[in-house]
């Protein structure tokens, strides 16, 4: 049984985290010291390093700070950066959560702000200890998936096994999000055939075409050098393997970072910026995507890996599913689910899909995933630019 | 045609490549229709092996979908990778190419 923390917007969290957010790199050290000294797995560091304003970063930060897994926020500002700290505080307070704001230049510098920050964390922690816990069903979960450190085994074990788990979750009413249109170049027609409306199908194809154009300007696909050594040869081969994570359910909508799924179903997250490429690669590493999935409300992220990523995340637990049996043995203490057994004839895709489903429910009920136990709380947020999604992206909302 | 055994898996009936799930060494015996052949080269886990003879320009089919085209002919049982096939989308790149500044 999942006991969720009930938030004012009706969503429920599977964790009750105090987030400590730095709003510019100049405040990072002070915020990190506050988190380190608090020495509590549920006090976690998030932040944005840039001094210049960015609407995307503000939207994602607000979405994360009001994520159902977050109970309250401590903001650490240097003082002269352009991030709108008062708006962030107002958004969090309007959500019914406690928010404390510390400005280093006003507090008297590093040591004084760290001391004040620890007191702020204690106050927030005390306030959120009394948040009501209520039963939470599978249909209230938002589950995301991503792959990283892929090899030739990812697309034949872990990814299709996640697809099986997604099919079951979607059938039971959960919202499931898959991502990375840049990794889906080459299978856009097959994907468009699964869309709930013709307009959404066209939007899916347009998403992938945008990704292809963007990555071409960057000079690469999302195809990292390590992939070729694992047996994957082409972008489209990697894409079909990545695509198999989405399972076989109907695709109900397209989201952009910070958009919350309006109801259960299967959603594609479009992570590629709109307009001319301006800020470099769409996502500079896997955790940048995980942050975007969490900004869409993901309670849990399923991370499939062949070569062996060890990352977790702040705010929402990461469950690691290892595709490659050799990697699974070498990195056993990092891998929650060993899908490599499929290659050794010890398990079927359906059995591993069931294990993934069971692991999601256990982690949602409070069990710590291995990356949580190991203290992984990665977080990265950088510059991007997006246009809002159009009505064709969420047909069920347009119809309502 | 190369038959699949415990070292190889077929992801989709339309595929013209099989996936190696345990390492094959050069000289290892591979099953083909009506007999066996020795592997020409070592093939690592996750890599592709031609199920049938493929000509230059043939589409490589995996998951039942085209994942690129052959740039050189192969016979059944040969390794299929960067050296004899290419993307039909964005050109793939290798660590070597990156080091050479490509």
Q: Do A232 and B63 touch (CB under 8 A)?
A: no
- Torsion of Cα atoms, A273 then A275 then A276 then A278, to 10°: -50
Q: Do A326 and B90 touch (CB under 8 A)?
A: no
Cβ neighbours of B23 in A, within 8 Å? none
Q: How far A43 CA lies from chain B's nearest CA (Å)?
A: 39
Q: Do A223 and B68 touch (CB under 8 A)?
A: no
Cβ neighbours of A324 in B, within 8 Å? 45-46
A157 at the B interface (CB within 8 A)? no
Picking from A226, A231, A236, the nearest residue to B87 by CB comes out as A236
- Distance CA(A319)–CA(A17), nearest Å, equals 18
Pick the residue of A234, A240, A242 with the most B CBs within 10 A to test the interface with B by mutation: A234
Q: A81: Cβ–Cβ under 8 A, 6 or more apart, which residues?
A: A23, A24, A26, A27, A51
Strands A43-47 and A99-103: unpaired
Ordered by where they begin, the domains of chain A are: 2-134 (3.40.50.360), 139-399 (no CATH)
A240 at the B interface (CB within 8 A)? yes
What pLDDT, on a 0 to 100 scale, did the predictor assign at position B96? Answer: 45
Ordered by where they begin, the domains of chain B are: 8-99 (2.30.130.110)
B interface with A, Cβ–Cβ < 8 A, is 6, 9, 11, 19-22, 44-48, 60, 62-63, 65-68, 80-82, 85-90, 92-95, 98
Instruction: Return the number of CB contacts < 8 Å for A and B.
Output: 105
Q: A10: alpha, beta or left, given left = phi > 0 and alpha = psi -120 to 50?
A: left
Q: Average pLDDT of B9-18?
A: 85
Taking CA–CA distances from B85, the nearest residue in chain A reads A233
- For residues A207-244, b (16+ Cβ closer than 10 Å) or e, as one string? bbebbbebbeeeebbbbbeebbebbbbbbbbbbbbbbb
DSSP B24: B
Pick the residue of B9, B46, B87, B97 with the most A CBs within 10 A to test the interface with A by mutation: B46
Q: How far A221 CA lies from chain B's nearest CA (Å)?
A: 6
Tokens 């979750």 — which residue? A169
A231 at the B interface (CB within 8 A)? yes
Decide if A319 contacts A356 (C-beta within 8 A). yes
Q: Over 50: is that where the pLDDT of B93 sits?
A: no
pLDDT of chain A, 400 residues: tens digit per residue: 899 999 999 999 999 999 999 999 999 999 999 999 999 999 999 999 999 999 999 999 999 999 999 999 999 999 999 999 999 999 999 999 999 999 999 999 999 999 999 999 999 999 999 999 999 999 999 999 999 888 878 888 999 899 999 999 999 999 999 997 877 877 887 789 899 999 999 999 999 989 888 888 887 655 554 566 678 888 788 788 888 899 889 999 999 999 999 999 999 999 999 998 889 888 899 999 999 999 999 999 999 999 999 999 999 999 999 999 999 999 999 999 999 998 887 888 889 999 999 999 999 999 999 999 999 999 999 999 999 999 999 999 877 7
What pLDDT, on a 0 to 100 scale, did the predictor assign at position B58? Answer: 97
């Amino acid at each position: 049984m999942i006991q969720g923390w009930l938030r004012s917007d009706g969503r429920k969290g599977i964790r009750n985290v105090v987030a400590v957010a730095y709003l510019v790199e100049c405040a990072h050290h002070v915020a990190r010291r506050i988190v380190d000294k608090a020495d509590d797995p549920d006090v976690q560091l998030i932040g944005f390093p840039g001094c210049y304003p960015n609407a995307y970063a503000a939207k994602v930060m607000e979405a994360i700070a009001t994520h159902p897994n977050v109970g309250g926020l401590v903001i650490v500002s240097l003082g002269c950066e352009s991030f709108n700290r008062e708006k962030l505080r107002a958004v969090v307070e309007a959500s019914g959560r406690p928010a404390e704001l510390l400005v280093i230049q006003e507090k008297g510098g590093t040591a004084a702000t760290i001391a004040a920050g620890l007191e702020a964390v204690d106050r927030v922690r005390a306030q959120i200890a009394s948040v009501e816990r209520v039963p939470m069903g599978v249909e209230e979960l938002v589950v995301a998936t991503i792959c990283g450190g892929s090899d030739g085994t990812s697309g034949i074990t872990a990814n299709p096994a996640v697809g099986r788990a997604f099919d079951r979750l979607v059938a039971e009413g959960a919202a499931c999000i898959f991502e990375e249109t840049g990794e889906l170049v080459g299978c856009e027609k097959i994907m468009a055939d699964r869309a709930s409306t013709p307009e959404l199908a066209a939007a899916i194809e347009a998403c992938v075409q945008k990704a292809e154009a963007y990555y071409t300007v960057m000079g690469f696909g999302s195809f990292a050098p390590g992939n070729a050594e694992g047996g994957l040869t082409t972008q489209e081969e990697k894409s079909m393997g990545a695509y198999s994570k989405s399972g076989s359910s109907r695709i109900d909508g397209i989201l952009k970072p910070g958009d919350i799924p309006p109801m259960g179903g299967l959603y594609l997250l479009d992570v590629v910026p709109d307009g001319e490429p301006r800020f470099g690669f769409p996502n500079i590493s896997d955790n940048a995507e995980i942050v975007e999935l969490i900004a869409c409300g993901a309670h849990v992220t399923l991370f499939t890996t062949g070569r062996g990523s060890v990352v977790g995340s702040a705010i929402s637990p990461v469950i690691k599913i290892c595709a490659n049996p050799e990697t699974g043995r070498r990195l056993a203490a990092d891998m929650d689910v060993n899908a490599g057994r499929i290659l050794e004839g010890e398990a079927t895709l359906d059995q591993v899909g069931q294990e993934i489903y069971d692991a999601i429910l256990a982690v949602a009920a409070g069990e710590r995933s291995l990356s949580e136990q190991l203290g992984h709380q990665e977080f990265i947020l950088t510059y991007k630019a997006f246009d809002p999604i159009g009505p064709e992206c969420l047909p069920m909302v347009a119809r309502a | 045609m190369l038959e699949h055994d415990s070292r190889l898996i077929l992801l989709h009936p339309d595929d013209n490549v099989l996936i190696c799930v345990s390492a094959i060494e050069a000289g290892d015996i591979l099953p083909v229709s009506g007999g066996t052949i020795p592997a020409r080269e070592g093939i690592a886990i996750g890599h592709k092996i031609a199920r049938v003879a493929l000509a230059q320009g043939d589409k490589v089919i995996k998951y039942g979908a085209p994942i690129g085209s052959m740039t050189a002919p192969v016979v059944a049982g040969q390794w299929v990778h960067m050296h004899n096939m290419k993307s039909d989308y964005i050109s793939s790149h290798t660590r070597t190419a990156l080091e050479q500044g490509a």
